[in-house]
Amino acid sequence: MTEVTNVKAYGNEAADAPLKGLNINRRKPTPHDVEIDILFCGICHSDLHTARSEWGPTQYPCVPGHEIVGKVTAVGNHVDKFKVGDTVGVGCMVDSCRECQYCKEHKEQYCERGTIFTYGAPDKHLGGYTFGGYSERIVVDENYVLSISGKVDLAATAPLLCAGITTYSPMRHFRVSPGQNVGVVGIGGLGHVAIKIAKAMGAHVTAFTTSESKFEEARRLGADETVLSKDPEQMAKYAGKLHFILDAVSAKHDINAYLNLLRVDGSLVLVGVPPEPLPVAAFSLIGGSRSLAGSLIGGIKETQEMLDFCAEHNITADIEMIDIQTINEAYDRLVNGDVKYRFVIDMASLKK
């Protein structure tokens, strides 16, 4: 039987219940495990959707959090990748089958037998479901733990474990390169990181927003140009000009308006999750041999590559630090778009 230890956490027990202090069990490190004292945990919109059971039925109690940065406090006796005192991260997944074609291709997020996500997934060690980073500690197999540079702002790096890899992966897949014209749709939690990464890749970056008030912000983040997307005249100037567009909008919008901005053989990738299907006109694709795709985070190998890239280029998220006791207010503000651009929990507050 796997040994367990009891730790403090924050979570909720029903979709309409606020998050509150809980006690949960963590396994003690097995031979290949790394135990991590969590320093910072970012708040992703997925956390809110899951806690409030908006993406299908949630298993309760629910402890969200998959943007985790911390220090190694113990390792199993077969661990050779990490040692006590290392600064590490844990992202959206903590295990997979390791045997299917996608795991072998370092695309564990598409595991055929079911990716074990950081929270809300079946826990093969303790039974029940996995608990995320709104907690004192977490224990993860060394193969799903990531190295964090000691030279970066740890709190501002935490959101990269989701927002960073979500935007980096499709740009790498579609080979964004110096001199290309790249569009970023939506300047929020994902979009603001996407602008920084695209710029670091050498692209000429155009940000698209529905609010003129974000023009200055987009330029501060590194955008070369900013377009008011609800102005047809401004949009028309970019028709057929862009090599790649990253669409980070999670609300209903006209996808064809952006597809028509792509040059021949250009690609638009969805990373936002609108609540309803987006109609796509066939000629928006056929007329320019254009591609419409989607992308889900990235594998462990690519996530490490992203972290190293961001450390090299001094890329972090723009954050607002909070104590865990204000998590419910932060969730309400997140719904209202009242954050620039990611909340990060100082997990030391859990000990107050």
What are the domain boundaries of the chain? 4-162+318-351, 164-294
Examine the pLDDT at 2 and tell me if it is beyond 90. Answer: no
- Consecutive H or E run containing 45: helix 45-51
Encoded amino acid at 264, one letter: V
In the predicted structure, residue 235 carries a pLDDT above the cut 70: yes
In angstroms, the CA 251 to CA 277 distance is: 10
pLDDT band at residue 1 using 50, 70 and 90 as cut-offs:
low
Q: Are strands 181-185 and 204-209 parallel, antiparallel or unpaired?
A: parallel
User: Which two structure tokens, joined as six digits, stand for 265?
Assistant: 């053989």
How does strand 20-27 pair with strand 4-11?
antiparallel
Q: CB of 23 within 8 A of CB of 93?
A: no
Tell me how far apart the alpha carbons of residues 308 and 89 are, in angstroms, rounded to a whole number: 12
Say how far apart CA 16 and CA 53 lie, in whole Å.
9
Q: Are 84 and 73 in contact (CB under 8 A)?
A: yes
Q: What DSSP element (H or E) covers 289?
A: none
The separation between the first and the last C-alpha atoms of the chain, rounded to the nearest angstrom, is 33
Residues 202-224, mean pLDDT to the nearest whole number: 95
The candidate with the shortest Cα–Cα distance to 53, out of 95, 16, 2, 90, is 16
Q: pLDDT category, 56, cuts 50, 70, 90?
A: confident
Is the pLDDT assigned to residue 191 strictly greater than 70?
yes
What fold characterizes domain 164-294?
A: Rossmann fold (3.40.50)
| Cα 71 from Cα 63, distance rounded (Å) | 20
DSSP codes joined into one string, 223-266: -SEEEETT-HHHHHTTTTTEEEEEE---S---HHHHHTTEEEEE
Looking at residue 295, what is its pLDDT?
97
Q: What is the pLDDT of residue 169?
A: 98
Fold of domain 4-162+318-351 = Quinone Oxidoreductase; Chain A, domain 1 (3.90.180)
Residue 181 DSSP class:
E
**CA 326 to centroid of chain Cα atoms:** 21
pLDDT at 351 (0 to 100)? 86
Q: What pLDDT does 5 receive? A: 95
Q: What is the mean pLDDT of residues 57-64?
A: 96
Q: Would you say residue 257 has pLDDT above 70?
A: yes
pLDDT in tens, 61-114: 999 999 999 999 999 999 999 999 999 999 999 999 999 999 999 999 999 999
Tell me the C-alpha distance between 1 and 185, whole Å. Answer: 50
Q: Is the pLDDT of residue 198 over 70?
A: yes
**Per residue in 125-136, pLDDT tens?**
999 999 999 999
Q: Express each pLDDT in 335-346 by its tens digit.
A: 999 999 999 999
Closest by alpha carbon to 163, among 322, 45, 54, 331?
A: 45
Helices 300-312 and 191-200: angle between axes, nearest 10 degrees:
70
Cα gap 245→206, rounded to integer Å: 9
Mean predicted confidence (pLDDT) in 246-264: 96
How many residues are listed for the chain in this entry?
Answer: 352
Mean pLDDT of the chain: 97
